Structure 1
């Protein structure tokens, strides 16, 4: 049997094993108390796998966020057709969770490419009161047309420029007022470096703070979060008014010594470990799983989170009074129904 064929069959075996383990009972998280109030994102590029996770986690979810609406070449927000169809399909099935439409500042260019986290589109949309009001009206219209219970705004890199940041806060205030008039709820997703103590943050929306960029595509190998990182941000979040949530990431990243980097799901990470016959170790500090492997002369290192990692991070958040937890994201997780 060739090495390639052998690796293929190993990958098939691990997927079967992972599938069989998905329903196994796991131990309790390291901190007790009430279960977390969970929400999760369903991404338009991984809808089938996301729905498989949703099917198992649905009884634990309070909110499902459809990720997401973004911008065309004319700065007009739109919902990808695949996501629109999935929302229609899932609406016919049972689910007691609230649904949110997530808006992100990604932009589809004329050539079909996509610019991620585009700050320029936000500058144009926030340029004056008329542009801002038109954008808000479009958000409300898309959300109502899609039959969602609420709006989620996930605009990133806004605080790289103070003017854009302040415009965002004014936009959020106006959007919240218009959302209330239409019986829609509002969630605002914030990066961990946002100035939480700014007087521009106001009571009303749910503020969801990301806890997953300690290490990543911008850095050398390491965990997306660890206890010191989590506690530091939780302390800073105390300045935010109203309801607050911590967003943790499933899966992880792989780094090659040739400079290659990419995100991967838990299932993809476990498949790599079996394919290359590597045994993952658990990092004492972050509780992430870590292993390395050699492929075509390149050494790769993988860091990823499993349910034990997630429950450890969640326990830290709950210990500091934050029990609202958002998971990025559904798809490629083995024990999503055991997140507590």
Structure 2
């Protein structure tokens, strides 16, 4: 009886804790992928350094970004004009990106009310399409990128968005412009997206300022999202993010939390060295993380280096993805080590 009880306890322990751990995420050789990178207007100098290290592997550059003023008029930062004035060469395509951010006295990111002004009826859709195509022609780019966000939870706005991208694609085709559309992973991919544009799904911000500590992506998140993308018309692409995030004094369930902010990989490396923090690589995400305490506060940092990005790209390529975008140039330490095959 006693022996049987021991056997049962051992078996129970095996069921509860004896599961074989999943193999850690890591980079490996894979089928070739094309590579697109974002260059932001606020980090041109550092971005140029990253581009110099990576440019032989880059197929396209996106100039980020055109936004709007309080009246819904497109606003182009002077830095974007400067970026567009420097052509990347015949081999590298370039795109002009449009966001639904509002600039001015009160900056608003991913503003849903702005989208209603831009897309609310057929007349406003036509004006928005004409404005986008006109700017693309002015800057003599290969194509347009649409990075409107924060609309999917409003079903009526989602329907207006679908009408808009169909008309935008038609106008781009007529004007010999390519169109790539960036989508959040929470968007319903089966909503009825028009065939023709390239759809780029953001595989990042799994963890971030909205949550507790963790990586911007992990294997399970990548697998789940790529599987959902089968509902989208092809061609498909995915986007991964450099850098990471820090959380100060994060308590259970977020009941206590101090500063939370995104940081670059360069900032993360500096913080680890400054505070003599031991850095570890997470098996589920290949991301690096560390903790340090100073002035009575504890801070946890998670970030991606080139090994992290290569592991994520490997995972995506193994699941049939042939095009990858990297958000973003600037603030990295070893971006030139990214592999495209």
> 2:69 aligned with 1:72, yes or no?
yes
2:201 to 196, 206, 209: 209
2:43 to 33, 39, 46: 46
Structure 1 residue aligned with 2:239: 247
Matches within 5 A, 1:178-327: 178-198=171-191, 200-257=192-249, 258-327=257-326
Structure 2 Cα separation of the partners of residues 245 and 94 of structure 1: 23
> 2:95 aligned with 1:103, yes or no?
no
Structure 2 Cα separation of the partners of residues 297 and 96 of structure 1: 53
- Cα 1:41–1:217 shift into 2, 3 Å: same
Structure 1 residue aligned with 2:148: 155
Matches within 5 A, 1:108-123: 108-109=103-104, 111=105, 113-123=106-116
> Is the CA contact 1:47–1:83 (under 8 Å) kept in the aligned structure 2?
no
Structure 2 residue aligned with 1:15: none
Question: After the TM superposition, which segments of 4 or more aligned residues of structure 1 sit over 6 Å from their partners?
Answer: none
TM-score by length of 1: 0.88
Q: Which has the larger radius of gyration?
A: 2
Structure 1 Cα separation of the partners of residues 267 and 90 of structure 2: 28
> Is the CA contact 2:277–2:290 (under 8 Å) kept in the aligned structure 1?
yes
Comparing 29-38 with 131-140, greater Cα deviation is found at 29-38
| SS of aligned partner of 2:159 | helix
TM-score by length of 2: 0.88
Comparing 256-265 with 130-139, greater Cα deviation is found at 256-265
* C-alpha displacement of 1:127: 1.5
Structure 1 gaps of 5+ residues are: 1-28
Structure 2 gaps of 5+ residues are: 1-25, 250-256
Structure 2 Cα separation of the partners of residues 319 and 251 of structure 1: 23
Structure 1 residue aligned with 2:55: 58
Structure 2 Cα separation of the partners of residues 259 and 71 of structure 1: 32
Structure 2 Cα separation of the partners of residues 221 and 40 of structure 1: 26
* CA RMSD, Structure 1 to Structure 2 (Å): 1.2
Structure 1 Cα separation of the partners of residues 110 and 296 of structure 2: 34
Structure 2 Cα separation of the partners of residues 335 and 36 of structure 1: 19
Structure 2 Cα separation of the partners of residues 330 and 283 of structure 1: 24
| SS of aligned partner of 1:167 | helix
> Is the CA contact 1:187–1:207 (under 8 Å) kept in the aligned structure 2?
yes
* C-alpha displacement of 1:96: 2.1
Structure 2 Cα separation of the partners of residues 77 and 136 of structure 1: 11
* C-alpha displacement of 1:259: 2.1
* C-alpha displacement of 1:335: 1.8
Structure 2 residue aligned with 1:337: 336
